[in-house]
Amino acid sequence: MVVSSYTNSLMGLLILLFAITASTATRDVITSDPNDEAHFDAHQICPRVKDKDFCDMVMESYVSIFGFDVKEVGTIFIDVSKNMAGFANSKILELIPKAPDAQKARLEHCNQIYTSFPQKDKGILTQLLEKKDYVGLNREAGILAKHTTDCEDSFKPAPSPMTRENSNFFNIIDMISTFSYLLIH
């Protein structure tokens, strides 16, 4: 049986999620600076995102996430978004050689978005998180969500071959956006 590289990538993500969860499951709850982020409650994220089921799935992958501090939660979300961007980019690279000419330009456009994430955007998000610039983090997440929507919409009126990947990336970015919004307010 031939296993696609997408399946291999998905299995890799699941193994990564398990490893992170297993290595941190026994940690004590880390409290935030009482004057800064003590009000943060990760339970507030999923009810506020567009795809609650996706959010619940990500959160359940990190059983002990509710014992993490703010920086760790943000770092996990950013790392998962990097993996989602990698899956999307792998799919694009599989599709381009066999895509009709009309679709190749759209796939190249999407490829630029997903290639940029690990090279540039992940670093920007990480720096904003480390500086506790949650307004900037929220703004950058909004820009990334727009890029993902632009990728999906570029295929219209034809169906997009990237719907699942765009949706997954959008959903994790929505979680980062909601996370940062909660820290602002």
Q: Could you read off the pLDDT of 55-95 as tens digits, one per residue?
A: 988 888 865 555 667 888 888 899 999 999 999 999 999 99
Closest CA to 78 of 175, 163, 182: 175
Residues 6+ apart with CB under 8 A from 27: 64, 67, 68
> What is the reported pTM?
0.76
What confidence tens digit (pLDDT) does each residue in 93-105 have?
Answer: 999 999 998 899 9
User: What's CA 133's distance to the chain center, in Å?
Assistant: 18
At 2 the pLDDT is 45
* Alpha-helical runs (H) found in the chain: 5-24, 52-61, 70-95, 101-116, 122-130, 134-153, 163-184
